[in-house]
Amino acid sequence: MSGRGRGVADQDVASDALRIDRWLWCARWFKTRGLAALAVTGGRVHLNGQRVKPARAVKPGDRLQISQDGCERELAVLGIPERRGPAAEARRCYAESEASAARFAAWQESQRLQALGAVRPGGRPDKKQRRDLLAFARVQGRR
């Protein structure tokens, strides 16, 4: 097949491996492939205990460690997704370790409790409050 990218015939041949940034995107760990590549480049994703580049291939049997929002997740790659499909389809491509799932549940609970204790304003500031906020920002050197 001519042109750039992988054609339909090429996908059947190379279905046993996929770039790590694309796998993370297809498995719905990141909203965009660019964000997945940034995470891999930034060292927040490790493949089999090693820091890798976004072009590194992922294949079934590999182990991934992903650090997102201060929470460490550990996955086993079970398969290579054919496309970025629904979440149920994406979940069949990996298995999270039980220890990782327990850590994530504890992290989610701590985030929920922190949100309950957060002070929320009653509404939008009125004109005088906005002026006071702007004056405070000028004093702090922010504006």
CATH of the domain at 76: 3.10.290.10
Residue 36 lies in a domain: yes
Residue 114 lies in a domain: no
Q: For the chain, what is the mean pLDDT?
A: 88
Indicate the Cα dihedral angle 35, 41, 43, 47, nearest 10°: 90
Residue 48 lies in a domain: yes
| Tens-digit pLDDT profile for residues 18-59 | 999 999 999 999 999 999 999 999 999 999 999 999 999 999
Predicted TM-score of the model (pTM):
0.73
The total of structural domains in the chain comes to 1
Residue 100 lies in a domain: yes
Residue 3 lies in a domain: no
Q: Which domain holds residue 92?
A: 10-106
| Tens-digit pLDDT profile for residues 70-116 | 899 999 999 999 999 999 999 999 999 999 999 999 999 999 999 88
